[in-house]
Amino acid sequence: MTSEASSVLDKPATSPISTRRHGDVLIILSNNPPVNALSAAVRLGLVDAIAQAEADDGVNALVIACEGQTFFAGADITEFGKPPQQPWLPAVVDRIENCSKPVVAAIHGTALGGGLEVALGCHYRVADKSARLGTPEVKLGLLPGAGGTQRLPRVAGVRKALEMTATGSPIGAKEAFDCGLVDRIVEGDLVPHAVAFAEEVRDVRPLAKSSERQDRIADVDPSVFDDFRKENAKRFRGFEAPLRNIEAVKIATEKPYSEGVIEERKLFMELMGGEQSAAQRYFFFAERKANKIEGLPENTEPRPVRKVGVIGAGTMGGGISMNFLSAGIPVTIVEMGQEALDRGTGVMRRNYEASAAKGKLTAQQVEQAMGYLQPTLDFAELADCDLIVEAVYENMDVKKEVFGRIDKIARPGAILASNTSYLDIDEIAASISRPEDVLGMHFFSPANIMKLLEVVRGAKTASDALLTAMQLGKKIGKVPVVAGVCHGFIGNRMLMPRQIEATKLLLEGASPEQIDRVHVEFGMPMGPFRMADLAGVDIGWHRDPNRIENVRDALCAIDRWGQKKGAGFYDYDEKRRPSPSPVVQHIIEDFAARQGVERREISDGEIVERTLYTMVNEGAKILEEGIAQRASDVDVVWVYGYGWPVYRGGPMFWADSVGLQTIVDGLKRQEERMKPDFSFSKLLLDKAENGESFTR
Ligand code: 3HC
């Protein structure tokens, strides 16, 4: 290698693109923090740099690399929906590919979306061994629209292109190398390695243009597309973009590149103009905004958390502990009796081993995680923990008793968190000597899997305690959302009106199957009654089989506690497949008769208005009362905690799509039937009247 020439900045200081020479190799460097998104300035800089290289006889090869944490992470999503600015990304990628001198992409971090398309426009790709490559456009309701759907199958093969584009999951450098997407994997300083590679290939002709390759798309069995669709039918249910991605990759195998890109553009523009992509793009930013805490004093610093204590080794306590263990944070877990402790730690180990059996973890990682666990019966061992999460029985007296004990032994400054789903954090905090250290960390079941974490800010919660819980949540792979104190916080509180109306609808004439079907057709993973059966119909039951005041009591009294008993609102076969239950139907009709409820035909539309519009109304109350910081946080809670279809953005975004006046009109239509359980949110009424929205 020749020695590095002095740095030559040919762009104005404001351009994110700079160039420098290393012998006869021109290094084009992007510096557009935080993720090197391909903004208009970056695109322009790239085109100019290519022109500079073409014009310079002293340049024989090029390297495109990025500074900072990552290679280009995609098109600049903030530009979407605005008037497009030249040069367009597809033209930039073409310009790179048509450069008369070899261009090498030097990939570190993540080459995503438009970033991967830029890399595909390059003639060669050199990647750091930790790099990840992917086409996440589908998660924004889109497809790779800069030639990606046509180039990727030509380079990586059809099957890999289908997997990458339709699922949006990135692949590691090794997998990318194995499928031909990456030409060399390197360790250590990336750019010098890429320059060395460029020097090796500087004289190779013809240039390896992805768009001209035929070898990987010849003789493709056309059944591969249908098979792939079928294999993933459940995953893709309700989404438009995965199918359009598959269609575009199929086109690559049927038409010449020049025609394929035109079709790709058409599909891209259709998706971009659609409601699903608008919802998914909105959600991308909603998720990131959720992490920002309003009203936090500027200099707030998080408290260090080196060790966590968890009280209770039941399903929740175990799941919560696993999150920290997996992140390498030691956990002391406390139980009342040896048997419960052994059972709890046994379940955790089995869960880890199940992940290992699926290839998600190595045996060594399982041992490492379990090695961070310290099970004990001695409360005093929590004394050196920086955060203590209690996950005991959901009862105020029990919680207060536990907090009283923690208060006596926890070290000063330790954060004391309750995993309560409903209870008043302020009441718990007021019962001990350090209310400023108390907050809620509401994990969702199964706690080691579900991404949502409601961090409940009490009236006296210290800012640094809140910040710590939010940052820690992110560190353990959760999506934390700040919630205020009220019965059920954001998520469970919104579940209540849905549950109340769904139950009333049963008596009025709807069946559990009809109500569940409406929710599933809407895009929810399951309806309220399948969910009740899964969670346990007996949750919150008073346990007195002679006290029968509603349908739930009646089911519990005859042992229909849900899936775990093989019967709940539905009957279940040995494979846990549900079927309608004549017994349940009889109970419902009996109750209706006893309560004098007139049964009638219920339309699907009424179900939507009474179970989904009411949730929007509750969400508006939550905003009105300051329980959620912003409407988009409500949406994040529902998408990550309850499986609200992300292609509908979340309840508040969806309400805006439907139109707030339409929501209000629907609720007014049902108001009489819903009384006295229902009352209007003033915020919703005001916004509807003023033609405003929650999220746009
Ligand atoms: N455009 C604009 N801003 C982006 C962006 C993008 N493509 N990707 C990330 N950002 C912003 C985020 O909004 C966030 O901003 P904030 O700090 O103001 O909240 C900031 O960059 C940092 O992002 P993260 O918090 O997500 O940082 P992480 O380090 O956790 O993750 C990442 C980095 C893996 C690159 C992640 O940001 C990511 O997945 N980005 C999106 C990638 C993507 O979807 N690319 C495809 C875009 S569509 C496209 O390319 C179309 C083309 O085919 C035509």
Which token pair is 304? 């260090």
- Report pLDDT digits (tens) over 113-151: 999 999 999 999 999 999 999 999 999 999 999 999 999
Same topology, domains 17-272 and 510-594? Answer is no
Lowest model confidence (mean pLDDT) among 25-29, 78-82, 505-509, 650-654: 78-82
pLDDT band with cut points at 50, 70 and 90 for residue 1: very low
Q: Does ligand 1 lie within 6 Å of residue 34's CB atom?
A: yes
Atom 19 (ligand 1): residue with closest C-alpha?
A: 288
Task: Identify any residues that bridge with 8 across adjacent strands, giving them in sequence order.
Answer: 19
Atom 25 (ligand 1): residue with closest C-alpha?
A: 288
Q: How far is the CA of 73 from the centre of ligand 1 (A)?
A: 6
Tell me how far apart the alpha carbons of residues 207 and 186 are, in angstroms, rounded to a whole number.
22
- Report pLDDT digits (tens) over 522-544: 999 999 999 999 989 998 889 99
Q: Does ligand 1 lie within 6 Å of residue 479's CB atom?
A: no
What's the pLDDT score for residue 81?
83
Q: How far is the CA of 113 from the centre of ligand 1 (A)?
A: 10
Q: Does ligand 1 lie within 6 Å of residue 150's CB atom?
A: no
Give ∠ CA 349-355-361 in degrees, rounded to 5.
100
Given ligand 1 and candidates 30, 32, 35, 139, which is best to mutate, with the most ligand atoms within 8 Å of its CB?
Answer: 35
Q: How far is the CA of 95 from the centre of ligand 1 (A)?
A: 24
Q: How many residues does this entry show for the chain? A: 696
Catalytic residue IDs = 117, 137
Cis-peptide, bond into residue 34, ω within 30° of zero: yes
Residues 539, 542, 546, 550, CA torsion sign: negative
Residue type, 104: V
φ, ψ of residue 583 to 5 degrees: the values are: -60, -45
CB neighbourhood size of 24 (10 A): 17
Q: Are strands 132-134 and 171-172 parallel, antiparallel or unpaired?
A: antiparallel
pTM of the model: 0.93
| Contact (CB, 8 A) for 600 and 609 | no
Q: How far is the CA of 37 from the centre of ligand 1 (A)?
A: 7
Q: How far is the CA of 112 from the centre of ligand 1 (A)?
A: 9
Indicate the SS3 state at residue 526.
Answer: coil
Q: Are strands 17-22 and 308-311 parallel, antiparallel or unpaired?
A: unpaired
- Report pLDDT digits (tens) over 368-413: 999 999 999 999 999 999 999 999 988 999 999 999 999 999 999 9
Assign domain 510-594 one CATH number from 1.10.1040.50, 1.20.1730.10, 3.40.50.720, 3.30.70.20.
1.10.1040.50
Q: Does ligand 1 lie within 6 Å of residue 144's CB atom?
A: yes
Q: How far is the CA of 74 from the centre of ligand 1 (A)?
A: 7
- Judged against a pLDDT cut of 80, whether residue 7 lies above it is answered with no
Atom 36 (ligand 1): residue with closest C-alpha?
A: 73
Question: What is the pLDDT of the chain when averaged over all its residues?
Answer: 96
- Judged against a pLDDT cut of 70, whether residue 8 lies above it is answered with no
Atom 41 (ligand 1): residue with closest C-alpha?
A: 73
What's the pLDDT score for residue 11?
45
Tell me how far apart the alpha carbons of residues 60 and 101 are, in angstroms, rounded to a whole number.
6
Q: Does ligand 1 lie within 6 Å of residue 562's CB atom?
A: no
Contacts with 626 (C-beta within 8 Å, 6 or more apart), sequence order: 484
Q: Does ligand 1 lie within 6 Å of residue 169's CB atom?
A: no
pLDDT band with cut points at 50, 70 and 90 for residue 19: very high
Q: Does ligand 1 lie within 6 Å of residue 148's CB atom?
A: yes
Which token pair is 605? 């539309």
Domain 17-272 in this protein, CATH class: alpha beta
pLDDT band with cut points at 50, 70 and 90 for residue 13: low
pLDDT band with cut points at 50, 70 and 90 for residue 6: very low
- Judged against a pLDDT cut of 60, whether residue 9 lies above it is answered with no
Q: Which CATH superfamily is domain 308-487 in?
A: NAD(P)-binding Rossmann-like Domain (3.40.50.720)
Which token pair is 410? 């926890």
* Mean predicted confidence (pLDDT) in 252-278: 97
Q: Does ligand 1 lie within 6 Å of residue 107's CB atom?
A: no
Task: Identify any residues that bridge with 481 across adjacent strands, giving them in sequence order.
Answer: 454
The DSSP letter of residue 447 is T
Closest by Cα among 569, 595, 579, 571 to 508: 595
- Judged against a pLDDT cut of 80, whether residue 291 lies above it is answered with yes
Percent of the chain with pLDDT over 90: 96
Q: How far is the CA of 578 from the centre of ligand 1 (A)?
A: 41
Tokens 């300083």 belong to residue: 189
Tell me how far apart the alpha carbons of residues 125 and 198 are, in angstroms, rounded to a whole number.
10
Question: What is the atom index within ligand 1 of the atom nearest the CA of 136?
Answer: 44
Domain map of the chain by residue range? 17-272, 308-487, 510-594
Side-chain half-sphere CA neighbours of 668 within 13 A: 9
| Contact (CB, 8 A) for 325 and 351 | no
